[in-house]
Chains A and B, each alone.
Chain A
């Protein structure tokens, strides 16, 4: 399936490819700094006990993002 969805909708264990960042300003650069650009593979690893934030595997590092921020990352599930 190749539908475009947002990163926060990825369920634990799923992987996806980043299609587009719609966040702006410093968050956009922060995500780029950790290597999140178009074409980057991400895997959803773990939700925090309360469901938010969610930890993702991005280029070998585990990064937690709040829903508000992961919602701005467009992905297509692998």
Chain B
């Protein structure tokens, strides 16, 4: 279809394992998407891989260390995949690691509530390696749904150890590692040997001896023989890379392959029919194993999920509930952030006074005080007080929704519009990730298989505001648009405006996706399957702690690291005079005419430019810049801040245009670098930079011109 023209390449399939000493054992964690591999990984390694209830969070291999019974293990969390006959980038990463990464053991993590579907991957893994431990996760969920699993029967049928765990609470993980440890010494393992139909078995037996003679113990000869006969091209390419030579081109083997294919052809098995039969054998075996081992106490074990789905995705309530949920989150964020925000600014600016007194006492020169306190400290104080509270509230809330399993339902609800835009419905998932962080959203685009659709998702990701831009929007809305409304409704009104802004962002995502689909990235939508996982009760405490500690503080740290030099630059620019005029004034005067066209002013545009490394610092820079040009004033509330902005010529139009531009402008530097990494192309990075920027400028220009023409201000 549209596979080639974009020239997207992937670099992440290679992974270097850093062993501390040669006795360290490498353990791969494989499994279907969304079975809790990352949770198992985190529980074992004490690390904080991002988790959430939707398929496709983990898109690259992550590694961590753990030790058990005196042995050190290197755990590798690989992306979820349904099968090892890969079709997409992240599935290829998973397959290549299991097949050619030489792990000492593979733990296949399964979902206890959906064992049959998971068994396909278990069987395919066992085909490749004997060192498999099956870890059945989510035993607590299975218990709740009255699903019984007969471990003895499973273990007997599969011939490899099977351990049931509840990774969320860490239950039985010790037993899992104990079993992994015993793999080396115990010989009770006698993995199931998959039986294919007679002609396929015959064909394998033609090729297998030649492969065995050539490979020795490097790879499982039976498996390699089957893949050679089946001609799984992407796998064979990885195999050649691993071996350093092309197995299919070895003369002795090539001859046998031809013979085997000829034989299969005579039996009516070639191409698609052959592959169908291979897959059917796997699935029917899986079905048989699970029929022996799994029993359901009631046939309506997931009735509750169906009920919730009928409400959340119904024709009448699907969309309204989606908007209401969004509004609820914003409402909590806005109301919740008010108080801590003013408290923080109170404390931080009181400390500024102390600092000033201190610097005076030690007799520091004025320019040192100015640079350190009025420059660096003050912009940091603004970043922390204005930006931290909304981020610290929004992010955990969003994570809760993610853990609950609502994101795939958003994708389900919105898919029709993505289809109309000729893109993949999974783009809804990456778009939602963008609310947290656009760089994460861009990396998440790997779950989209078609390179064309993936590029569109990458380019349009920054149309939804990230966590760093929300506070900017909230601050402006609070200052300019709700002042006239009486107090009890203020937060509600802000919420509506913010929701409207976000919906505009989502609408722009559709519009620009469609535009790209009919211009530079032409193509028709490709096929995909979207899994709607069972709803899971989020671990509220853990989510809050994790998202504040790992994410919010991380993002804040980055913002602070950028804000400090930015504050310094602003202060220097305001205080270095060239020809009697400060540099700041010169720069903003230079930008002014253009910014004026967009309904902004030079300072705002300059702030967006300086905010390239982190969007969080845009508002603080605007404030700094205005304060340094005019008489210094003290601010303790958004109300006084509004006065400052009004004094500098802001109108409601300036506010709207600033919001629009904040919603639609270049992605931050981290996102740009991620785009470069993901697309392996500066050209597409430039496109991703230009598309939202040009869109934002055009829209701001149109809006400002419209308002001016009508004389509304």
Contacts and interface: CB of A to CB of B under 8 A. Distances in A.
Nearest to A40: B283
Given A35-B283, A61-B114, A48 B416 contact: yes
Contact of A68 (B120, B315, B527): B527
B307 to A, nearest CB: 11
Interface residues of B, number: 44
A50 B416 contact: yes
Given A35-B117, A49-B318, A53-B425, A29 B412 contact: no
B279 interface: yes
Contacts of A48: 313, 318, 412-413, 415-416
B180 to A, nearest CB: 26
B531 A65 contact: no
Interface residues of A, number: 36
Contact of A53 (B82, B310, B449, B530): B530
Interface in B506-546: 525, 527-534
B280 interface: yes
Main secondary structure of the interface of A (DSSP, over half): mixed
B306 A65 contact: no
Nearest to B314: A49
Contact of B412 (A27, A34, A55): A55
B616 interface: no
Interface string A26-66: 11111111110110100001111111110100111111111
B309 interface: yes
A5 interface: no
Given A35-B283, A45-B309, A47-B315, A63 B85 contact: no
B139 to A, nearest CB: 16
Interface string A7-35: 00000000000000001101111111111
Contacts of A33: 82-83, 85, 120, 279
A24 B272 contact: yes
Contacts of B283: 32, 35, 37, 40
A29 B117 contact: no
A46 B528 contact: no
A66 B116 contact: no
Contacts of B309: 45-46, 55, 62
Contacts of B280: 32, 37-38
B263 interface: no
A30 B315 contact: no
A60 B114 contact: yes
B210 to A, nearest CB: 27
B671 interface: no
B528 A30 contact: yes
Contact of A60 (B117, B306, B313, B417): B117
Given A33-B279, A35-B117, A55-B313, 15 more contacts: A26-B449, A29-B85, A30-B82, A30-B527, A30-B528, A32-B280, A33-B83, A35-B286, A37-B276, A50-B416, A60-B113, A60-B116, A62-B309, A64-B415, A66-B419
11 contacts: A23-B527, A33-B85, A35-B120, A35-B283, A46-B310, A49-B314, A49-B318, A53-B425, A60-B117, A62-B309, A65-B530
Interface of B: 82-83, 85, 87, 113-117, 120, 272, 275-276, 279-280, 283, 286, 305-306, 309-310, 313-316, 318-319, 412-413, 415-417, 419, 425, 449, 525, 527-534
Question: 9 tightest CB-CB pairs across the interface, nearest first?
Answer: A49-B318, A27-B527, A50-B416, A33-B82, A33-B83, A64-B530, A62-B532, A32-B279, A60-B114
